[in-house]
Structure 1
Amino acid sequence: MGSLGIVEMVVLLLLGPIVYIGSLIWIYRDAERRGSHGMLTTLLVAVAAWPLGLIVWPFIRSKTKN
C-alpha cells in the first residue's frame, strides 16, 4: 500500500470533519424528535466515543417519535 497523494489527503481532511459534524447534527435532531435531551446525547456521543456512539445510538434510542 503506497502513501497518500496530496489530493487524497486534502479530500480526507475535508471529508472527515463534514462527516463528523453531519453525524452529530443527525444525532441531535433525532434525539430531540424522540423526546430525549438532544444536546446531552450529542455531547456524550461526541466526547465519549464518537464512532462507537454513532453505531450504538440507533439501537438504544426510543422507538417512538414525538
Structure 2
Amino acid sequence: MAEMFSAGIFGFIAVGFLFYVWSIGWAYQDAKQRGKPPLAVALMVMFGAWPMGLIIWVALRPGRRRPPFNLEDFRRH
C-alpha cells in the first residue's frame, strides 16, 4: 500500500515538473511571436513563484505582432 502511495506521489510530482518545463518553453515561444524579449519572459515564468509568473505573462502579454506585409497584396485576382 505504501509503495502505491509513493508511486502516486512520484507521478504527481513528475507531471507537475513536466508542466512547469512545458510552460517555460511555451512562454518563450509566445513572447518571441509577440515581439517581446523571450528570455526575459521565460525567466519571469521560471522564477516568478510559478505559476504566478505564468499567470502574469498570460494576463499582460501584448497582442500578436502583425506581419510586415499583407498576403492579399500578392494574390492574383
Query: Shared topology, TM-score over 0.5?
Result: yes
Return structure 1 stretches of 4+ with deviation > 4 angstroms: none
Structure 1 residue 48: Cα displacement: 2.5
Deviates more, 1:36-45 or 1:7-16: 7-16
The structure number with the bigger radius of gyration is 2
- What are the ranges of 5 or more consecutive residues in structure 1 without an aligned counterpart? none
What residue is the counterpart of 2:40 in the other structure? 40
For structure 2, the 5+ residue unaligned runs are 67-77
Coordinate RMSD, CA, aligned: 1.6
TM-score calculated relative to the size of structure 2: 0.71
**Percent of aligned positions with the same letter in both sequences?**
30
Secondary structure at the aligned position of 2:42 is classed as helix
Superposition TM-score, scaled by structure 1 size: 0.81
Cross-structure match for 2:61? 61
Greater helix share, 1 or 2? 1
Deviations 1:2-45 (A, max 9, x none): xx812211211211210100000000000000000001111122
Number of residues paired by the alignment? 63
